[in-house]
Amino acid sequence: VRNFLGKIITNKKFVNKIINNVKFCTEENVELLNTNKILILDVIPQYAIQYKKILEHANKKGVKTYSFLHDLFAIEYPEWFGSRHFSDIFKEYVDIILENSACIICNSKTTAYNVANYYKKQGIIRHRPLEVFFIHMGVTQSRCKIAYNLLNRDIVEFVKKGCTFLMVGTIEPRKN
């Protein structure tokens, strides 16, 4: 989904373009209900303002929002990235999701700890407490049961409903 002129709409044309599908399609409004959940899986910092609008709209509708953070490398080690501009955009994105997401899911205990510390240092103002959890990459339902007491019940139930997702990175070997 994306924010277009203040409304949340589908992104079918964009997806069709990516998969080289030439079929004509029309975008549709997406009506968010308080029983819905939104999971932002990947970081595209250039779309920080779009994420903010979607998350704010979802929060107004009572939708539970989750955002996945792989790491804070662009903030912690800006010298690893091509330009300071990217680090600044990434920081803006992280601040937006920390301010607007109900829950942050990290792919390691270390990242969850770093995110929680960063959040405290930034002094971000929220209307409700921020939940920060970790779930190891490649998690299976049986591993979810083992870690059940560490994870929010909503996240475990969400993961059980569908296929397990795997995110792969190469910079930090301790993330499996």
Over its length of 176 residues, how does the chain's per-residue pLDDT go in tens digits? 666 666 666 666 666 666 666 666 676 777 777 887 888 877 677 777 888 888 888 888 898 888 989 899 999 999 888 888 888 989 999 999 999 999 999 988 899 999 999 999 999 988 888 999 888 766 555 555 555 555 566 666 766 777 655 454 555 544 44
- Which residue type occupies 9? I
Measured between alpha carbons, how far is 147 from 125 in angstroms, rounded to an integer?
A: 30
Contact assessment for residue 25 and residue 75, using Cβ atoms and an 8 Å cutoff? no
